[in-house]
Amino acid sequence: MTTTSVSPFSLRQLYADGRLSQYLLLLGSLAAVTGLFASRALVALSSVVGVLAVLAQPHLRQQLRACTRLQTVLGMALMYLFWLLSVVYTSETDIWRHEVYRKLPLVIVPLAFAVAVPLSLRQRFGVGLLFVGLGTLLALGTLGRYLLDPETANYEISIGHNVPAITGVFHIHFSIMLALAFFFALLMRRSVLALPVVRNVLLACSAILFVVMHVLAYRTGLMVLYGMLLLDAGLLVVLRRRYVLGAVVVLALIGVPLLTYYTLEPIQQRVNVTLDDVNQYRSGRDINDYSLAKRFAAWKTATVIISQYPVAGVAPADVDAAMLDQYSYQDYGLLPKNWVMTHNQYLEALVGGGIVGLLLWLFVLFGPFLQPALRQNPYVVHFLLMMGIANLVDTLLQMQIGFSLFVFLYGFLVVAAERQTRNTHLAQTA
């Protein structure tokens, strides 16, 4: 009788063939997705695991040289470098020091996806399924919280409040993640890995997310959702010349909101409170209890500062101090506790970094569209355009959850896509 010997588990072999680096990158990605929906600690841990994935790359020196040629990595690094250099004119050194540490993922996360052994198609699909699945489950859980006491929930919506996510994620970021999960579910149905049952589950997830977002009447999420659907309709007409389908989508974008307005009380309440906000601001009445009106005041306050410091801004760490100082001159009748900050990432970039800061931000956000392969990647297109829309009404990079959401998905989708394109090109020309 012959005996067969099984090779023992070898960490050295895992390192040599790149599986250790790949598994660590996968672990970091799974931790990031879970953390975005449930635990900030997991998000922080994912960056640490990303560093380990880079260090476990068996061809580390070669991949580090290659990553310096990736535009997406360069853009994020330049944003971080600008933060570092702003120390020469900031007056808030303590905040600058804290932010320089907090914004390290601008370098770490893109580096992880540019240097570590890339995830396989199946692994990436699994991470996507986790994002969609968690989003759907938490959407259903939050819907359950609404249904326990819809009368109270509708009253809260009528005065501008929101039904909180069951895991405590801030409603703006939660609604954006639900909108992203809706589109990711539809896009993943096209994957060669999506078996018929998986395609059906993904379709059900997208339907659930669509309905829940309307029942909960998350204003920012719905704006991102319909804004992207409108852009999709435009892309169908302009790029693919699908005039009939584009027209059908546009009609649906008109009909569905009207239908939900006349059938869902939360949507009626949200529309009414939004119109009240606008009228309150336009009429010059008290806006202390009006969320949207306070944003209008914040945007106007920000434009005053921008006109005073147009080139390099007041320094990124000084934005809040500059806003508070300007409010002390003109407060629009707001109490100090209601002096809100910019609530617009483009204005935030202008106030903090002037034209230089804005150009860097636009390069990161829309620079990938300069590359034909990335323009044709539906995941990249949807993610960047949806972030572009969301940043019109919120400073996503200011709060840790929004910052982590953007940085992780930018690395997972955009940096990874550029790296794959470059590797494919090099293989074809070799």
3-state secondary structure of 169: coil
User: Is 241 within the bounds of a domain?
Assistant: yes
pTM value is 0.93
Contacts for 127 with CB less than 8 Å, ≥ 6 apart: 26, 29, 30, 33, 119, 412
Reported as a single tens digit per residue, the pLDDT across 127-143 is 999 999 999 999 999 99
Give the per-residue pLDDT at 2: 47
Average pLDDT of the segment spanning 153-178: 87
Domain count for the chain, please give it.
1
Q: Is residue 125 within 8 Å of 187, Cβ to Cβ?
A: no
Residue 51 clears pLDDT 60, i.e. is over it: yes
User: Is 85 within the bounds of a domain?
Assistant: no
Nearest to 113 by CA among 195, 21, 200: 21
Residue 207 clears pLDDT 80, i.e. is over it: yes
Reported as a single tens digit per residue, the pLDDT across 274-294 is 888 888 888 888 888 888 888
Give the per-residue pLDDT at 246: 75
* Residue 69 to residue 73: CA distance in whole angstroms: 8
User: Is 363 within the bounds of a domain?
Assistant: yes
Give the per-residue pLDDT at 5: 47
The residue type of 314 is: V
Q: Give the dihedral of Cα atoms 70, 72, 73, 75; nearest 10 deg.
A: 120
Average pLDDT of the segment spanning 305-325: 94
Average pLDDT of the segment spanning 361-389: 95
User: Is 285 within the bounds of a domain?
Assistant: yes
User: Is 17 within the bounds of a domain?
Assistant: no
| Structural domain of 248 | 118-429
* Average pLDDT value for the chain: 91
User: Is 6 within the bounds of a domain?
Assistant: no
Would you place residue 38 in the very low, low, confident or very high pLDDT band (cuts 50, 70, 90)? confident
Residue 3 clears pLDDT 60, i.e. is over it: no
Average pLDDT of the segment spanning 54-74: 93
User: Is 205 within the bounds of a domain?
Assistant: yes
Give the per-residue pLDDT at 430: 62
Handedness of CA 68, 350, 380, 33 (dihedral sign): positive
User: Is 87 within the bounds of a domain?
Assistant: no
End-to-end CA distance of the chain: 49
